Amino acid sequence: MKRTIFFLFLVFVGMTAFAQNVNCYRVYLHDKNNTPYNISQPEQFLSQRCLDKRVRYNIPVTEEDLPVNPAYLHEIGQASPQLRVLAVSRWLNTAVVCCPDTICMGYVRNLPFVDSVKAVGYYDNFEELPAQESIPLSSGNNVGDSLMYGVGYGQIALHNGHLLHAEGYHGEGMLIAMLDAGWLGFDSSPLLANLYENGQIWGTYNFVPGMNNVYTNHGHGTSCASIILSSIYSDYDTLVGTAPAANMVFIRTEDPLSEQLIEEDFWVAGAELADSLGADVITASLGYTQFDDSTFVFDYSSCDGHTSVASLAATKAAHKGMVVCVAAGNEGSNPWHKLSRPSDAEDILCVGAVNADSLYASFSGCGPSYDGRVKPDVVSCGWDTYMVSTYMFTGDNDSLYMYTYISSGNGTSCATPDMAGLAACLWQALPQLTSLEIMQIIRESAHQYNAPDTLMGYGIPNIYQAWVEHRTDAVEEYSTGTPAVSIFPNPSHDVFFIGNPEACSIQVCVFDASGRVMYAGKGFSRDSVQEINTSRWPCGFYFLRVQKQNGGTEMHKIVVK
């Protein structure tokens, strides 16, 4: 992100310890006693999509998932008619409130179900509190198998993502939740109109006071989302994203006009919203190290995975069944130098930056975490990354105009969605694995997994290789009993033939043991025979993937001598 935001803990020691001009507070609640909600009726607070995923991956619904007790929120609200609840966290059992009267907060502090209160920020426009925006769930679209990537080819090919796309995985059916500062112009850009026509944007939500419309105030989210979702083909530019068929929700947790501790709470609330919707992936190009208010001062020791409530929430999100991708931050060349929070969280993917030629970007935040864990986990293309950008200008009669165009940019903000989109495609291809397993095989596929460092961590993942090495169960699940093709001779020397006895057309693809595609043929009809020349192939084992037009997939092993 062009600007970085840092989460800090402020220890409350009496009301006099609050920072100057503070009117927002985090209230820690003692319990969830006598709540009207029950884990035996989770449909009251979790979507069906979320519940289906919990069942699929054996993730139980626990008391931690129960919403904050509404009776407690009501009692807190009695402190002052001016008090407003800005955000709540069911995982941490907290409520963030805005109240200009410090004396009234003393009343809140003494309530029997309140453990403690911490100052977190200030808003002078809290009368314009965020309204809840509906998030209608709908179906996404399908993207054709043949993709022309244009200027964005390098940032996908860096991870062999184009090979996974060629296998038919573009993110169909996957839901990505993006936490960001704003999507200026996204809804009005002709470059991105197809996403609304296809039903891929499932909705929006805002947590920042006074900024109810997520399509205003900042265009950082527009650029990040376009890296994942773009399917732009024109006479001038072509740009295809890392998961162009995925679905997305936009959740504003970031105030682009200030740096405040309260944004940590918005991040937590955003992650919990993503969970309740049944999101598969969270991508957050946000980093936290310092705040505008000098009262909140933290150093590298806070990057331990536990100091920041956002880091705690990121870890919980991963264990609730989401792949969590967080930017390492852009402090590599600055005095801070290290990663930012919440990329220090455990069991997530902290994403650093390289370019499409695999060169390390010097601005990328360095590891390890303060407690010695490998960070960043992986790196992706965040240097000369192609995206959709927004430009606003004043025209005749002082009219304000907005223009969207394809450009390149730098930052771990770019690397994170690049990785998140490919992670979504990988999980689509390997649905039998859990979110934690998907993140681990991404780490294991990286080029320096056996010798990680503090700059690139485990390195550059090979997404296609991760799929090849773990696809066995998925192939068995989708294979049919009767072979669709005949292969002869096998073993072969210089050539082999594929015969199609099926009543429908088939498509075939041959790749080596490392996942490199050796042959990708167009569909051919029944009773036809296709010749494959292997004279220049190294001797060894190869795999032939057959995909039937009417559904079904099977794998065959081929030996070339």
Q: Give the rounded percent of residues in the chain with a pLDDT score beyond 90.
A: 65
Residue 20 is predicted with a pLDDT of: 52
State whether 342 and 370 are in the same domain: yes
For residue 393, give the 3-state DSSP assignment.
Answer: strand
Q: Are residues 497 and 460 in the same domain?
A: no
Considering Cα of 243, then 359, then 376, then 265, what sign does the dihedral take?
A: negative
Gap between the Cα atoms of 503 and 482, Å rounded: 13
pLDDT given for residue 497 in this prediction: 84
Which of 121, 143, 175 is the endpoint of a domain?
121
Which of residues 121, 144, 174 is at a domain's end? 121
Residue ranges with strand state E in 174-218: 175-180, 201-206
Q: Quick one: pLDDT at residue 16?
A: 32
The 8-class DSSP code of residue 401 comes to E
DSSP sequence for 245-291: T-EEEEEE---TT---THHHHHHHHHHHHHHHHT-SEEEE---BS--
Report residue 393's pLDDT band, with 50, 70 and 90 as the boundaries: confident
Q: What is the pLDDT of residue 512?
A: 66
Tell me the average pLDDT across 71-78: 96
Please tell me which residue, 454 or 541, carries the higher pLDDT value.
454
**280: pLDDT strictly greater than 90:** yes
Instruction: In whole angstroms, give the CA distance from residue 551 to residue 528.
Output: 19
Lowest average pLDDT, out of 84-88, 183-187, 475-479, goes to 475-479
The mean of the pLDDT values for the chain is: 86
Considering the domain boundaries, does residue 305 fall inside one? yes
Q: Is residue 405 a part of any domain in this protein?
A: yes
pLDDT at 252: 97
Given 67, 97, 121, the domain boundary residue is 121
Between the alpha carbon of residue 113 and those of residues 32, 87, 412, 556, the distances in Å are 9, 18, 41, 63
Q: Which residue blocks in 338-487 are alpha helix, DSSP H?
A: 412-429, 435-444, 463-470, 472-478
Q: Are residues 106 and 160 in the same domain?
A: no
Whether 368 contacts 337, CB under 8 Å: no
CATH number, residue 347: 3.40.50.200
Is residue 406 helix, strand or coil? strand
Looking at the domain assignment, is residue 99 inside a domain?
yes
Length of the chain: 561
Q: So what's the pLDDT on residue 550? A: 65
CA distances (Å), origin 54, targets 46, 434, 481? 10, 10, 31
Residue 319 reports pLDDT greater than 70 = yes
| Assigned domain for 227 exists | yes
User: Of 200 and 478, which is predicted with more confidence?
Assistant: 200
Q: Which of 436, 440, 438, 443 is nearest to 424 (CA)?
A: 438
Q: Picking from 28-37, 84-93, 476-485, 515-524, which range would have the lowest pLDDT averaged per residue?
A: 476-485
Residues 251-261 pLDDT 10s: 999 998 888 88
Tell me, yes or no, whether 199 and 270 share the same domain: yes
Query: What mean pLDDT do residues 508-524 have?
Result: 70
Distance in angstroms (rounded) separating the CA atoms of residues 509 and 482: 19
**Is residue 464 domain-shared with residue 345, that is, in the same domain?**
yes
Which residues touch 433 (CB under 8 Å, ≥6 apart)? 427, 441, 470
Looking at residue 165, its pLDDT comes to 93
Contacting residues for 500 by C-beta, under 8 A, at least 6 apart? 484, 485, 506, 524, 525, 526, 527, 528, 529, 530
Quick check: is 142 in a domain? no
Task: Specify the residue for token string 């996403």.
Answer: 195
187 compared with 493, residue with greater pLDDT: 187
- The structural domain count of the chain equals 3
Report the pLDDT value the prediction gives residue 8, as an integer from 0 to 100.
24
101 shares its domain with 158:
no
- Least Cα distance to 263 among 255, 271, 272 occurs for 255
How far lies 52's CA from each of 216, 277, 387, 478, 539, in Å?
34, 11, 34, 20, 45
Q: How would you classify residue 518: left for phi > 0, otherwise alpha for psi between -120 and 50, otherwise beta? A: alpha
Rounded CA separation 423/433 (Å): 12
Say which CATH number the domain at 113 has: 3.30.70
| 320-369 pLDDT per residue, tens | 999 999 999 999 999 999 999 999 999 999 999 999 999 999 999 999 99
* DSSP state at residue 150: B
Is 366 in the same domain as 243? yes
Same domain for 461 and 524, yes or no, is no
What pLDDT digit, counting tens, does each position of 115-160 carry? Answer: 999 999 988 765 444 444 444 444 334 444 345 788 999 999 999 9
191 within 8 A of 197, measured Cβ to Cβ: no
Kindly write down the DSSP assignment for every residue of 318-341, as one continuous string. HHTT-EEEEE--S-TTSSS-B--B
Q: Are residues 194 and 225 located together in one domain of the fold? A: yes
pLDDT at position 11 over 60: no
514, pLDDT greater than 60: no
Q: Per the domain annotation, does 132 fall within a domain?
A: no
- 210 and 103 in a single domain? The answer is no
Model confidence, pTM: 0.81
Q: Do 300 and 199 share a domain, yes or no?
A: yes
Q: Does some domain include residue 218?
A: yes
Residue 26 lies in a domain: yes
Question: Which pLDDT score is estimated for 125?
Answer: 64
The answer to whether the beta carbons of residues 241 and 226 sit under 8 Å apart is yes
User: CATH number, domain at 550?
Assistant: 2.60.40.3080
Based on the fold, state whether residues 504 and 458 are members of the same structural domain. Answer: no
Cross-strand partners of 203: 249
Do 330 and 289 touch, CB atoms closer than 8 A? Answer: no
- Please state, in angstroms and rounded to a whole number, the distance separating the CA atoms of residues 485 and 47: 43
- Which pLDDT tens digit goes with each residue over 36-66? 999 999 999 999 999 999 999 999 999 999 9
Residue 55: which domain range? 15-121
Task: Check residue 249 and give its pLDDT.
Answer: 98
